Amino acid sequence: MKELNIMHVDMDAFYASVEQKDKPELKNKPVIIGGNELGNRGVVATASYEARKYGIHSAMPVAKAKKLCPHGIFISGNMSRYQEESDRIFEILSGYTPLVEKISIDEAFLDLTGCHHLYGNSKKIGKMIKSEIKEKTDLNASIGLAPNKFLAKLASDLKKPDGFMVIYKERIAEIIDPLSVNKIWGVGKKTEEKLIKKGIKTIGKLKQVPRKELKAMFGSFGVKLYKLARGIDDRNVVPKNETKSISHETTFKESLTSRDKILAVLLILSEKVSRRLRKNNFTGCTIFIKIRYDDFKTYTRRNTLSYYFNDTENIYNIGKKLLEKEDLKKPIRLLGIGVSKLVQNKNKQMDLFNEDKEKLYETIDIIKNKYGENSILRARDLIYKKNKDS
């Protein structure tokens, strides 16, 4: 279902739940995490839902929490343990789609576009992810599914803990209108106070305020508020990755002036980039070329596309278009090509390539790994090699 493409996953009472799992005697007990090891001495990092009944919450001074719940179990925390569980959770998420945007140690957005033919509709995928997390980590995740980020985050929050909520397009107003304005992302204490002073307590009420008035009150954020109150949010899920780019470049002994030779080299380099991307399970959506002329003037050009790829054809064709905008008559001493804006592609996305091509690339990789880089070449590569060798 297209309108439910965005998922928000958020673990329940994350640090406290890890402690309760590791020490079963803490289950169903008020557990409060906060202390030296987390670098936030003196304040609560989080509290189990049992402890929250006493009014304890994140950022509260530990001394106050002790007063509210003297029999609570206070733990100073073990960051490396929480990170370990976080890594396992993100590994599960990236098994479904490369489009995972990490928000924090226990929270992420997923864009499920392109996953449906592999796993079924969004609701089914949400349930699969929730139970896989439970199975592999013994921790509860709350999941929200909606047409955009704002609503998906709201959905996961509304049914916490152990929640699973879907916000269909037709029911947006019915669900969000009664909620208080502080449920809107970005509405902090100050904005809330300003709105309440005007008698605007709920999202429904906020909807009645003209756009102009909101703009006058809050500037550009006012326009955002106007949209969010209607459940409109255009932000994309932006996956972030530590490996920034994969590229290859070559410097020629003698500068190249032949367009055909330059393109032949570009194809070889594209193939190398593609191979490394596939070897590391990356896809990317930005392509860049680097060109250095004989006078050492160096230029890089890039183009970002609306889809992710890692195949030679796409890399070469987009790179070629960029290259053709440059002056190919001047002698070129260095040429490079690369792909950036990378995402991890643990499960191969079948819709990005046709399956036959995938198999072909896999076969080429196997042959090259076994017999060397030059063991299998394209006809065009041969032309270049012949010219180079002669």
Residues 6 or more apart from 254 whose CB is under 8 A from it? none
One character per residue 26-55, x = contact with ligand TTP (rule: CB under 6 A): ------------x-x----xx---------
Minimum CB–partner distance for residue 48 and Ca ion (Å)? 12
Helix (H) or strand (E) segment spanning residue 6: strand 6-11
Q: Compute the distance between CA of residue 79 and CA of residue 87 in angstroms, rounded to an integer.
A: 12
Compare residues 10 and 233 and give the one whose CB is closer to ligand TTP: 10
What DSSP line would sit under 78-129, residue for residue?
Answer: -HHHHHHHHHHHHHHHHTT-S-EEEEETTEEEEE-TTTHHHH-SHHHHHHHH
Kindly identify the residues of this chain, within the stretch 77-106, that bind ligand TTP according to CB under 6 A. Answer: 105-106
Q: Compute the distance between CA of residue 261 and CA of residue 350 in angstroms, rounded to an integer.
A: 33
Q: Compute the distance between CA of residue 305 and CA of residue 308 in angstroms, rounded to an integer.
A: 7
Residues 323, 330 contacting (CB under 8 angstroms)? no
The answer to whether 114 contacts ligand TTP (rule: CB under 6 A) is: no
Q: Which amino acid, 138?
A: D
Q: Tell me the catalytic residues.
A: 107
Minimum CB–partner distance for residue 250 and ligand TTP (Å)? 47
Residue count, binding to ligand TTP (CB under 6 A): 17
Compare residues 14 and 282 and give the one whose CB is closer to ligand TTP: 14
Compare residues 40 and 340 and give the one whose CB is closer to ligand TTP: 40
Minimum CB–partner distance for residue 26 and ligand TTP (Å)? 14
Residue 318 contact among ligand TTP, Ca ion, none, beta carbon within 5 to 8 Å by kind: none
The closest alpha carbon to 233, from 142, 152, 346, belongs to 152
Residues that bind Ca ion (CB under 5 A): 10-11, 14, 106
Residue 340 contact among Ca ion, ligand TTP, none, beta carbon within 5 to 8 Å by kind: none
Stretch that binds ligand TTP, among 5-13, 208-216, 240-248, 249-257 (CB under 6 A): 5-13
Is residue 377 classed exposed, middle or buried when 0-12, 13-18 and 19+ CB atoms within 10 A define those classes?
A: middle
Compare residues 46 and 345 and give the one whose CB is closer to ligand TTP: 46
Stretch that binds ligand TTP, among 8-16, 143-151, 222-230, 371-379 (CB under 6 A): 8-16
Q: Which amino acid, 6?
A: I
Residue 59 contact among ligand TTP, Ca ion, none, beta carbon within 5 to 8 Å by kind: ligand TTP
β-bridge mates for residue 102, sequence order:
108
Q: Contact residues for ligand TTP (CB under 6 A)?
A: 10-15, 38, 40, 45-46, 58-59, 105-107, 160-161
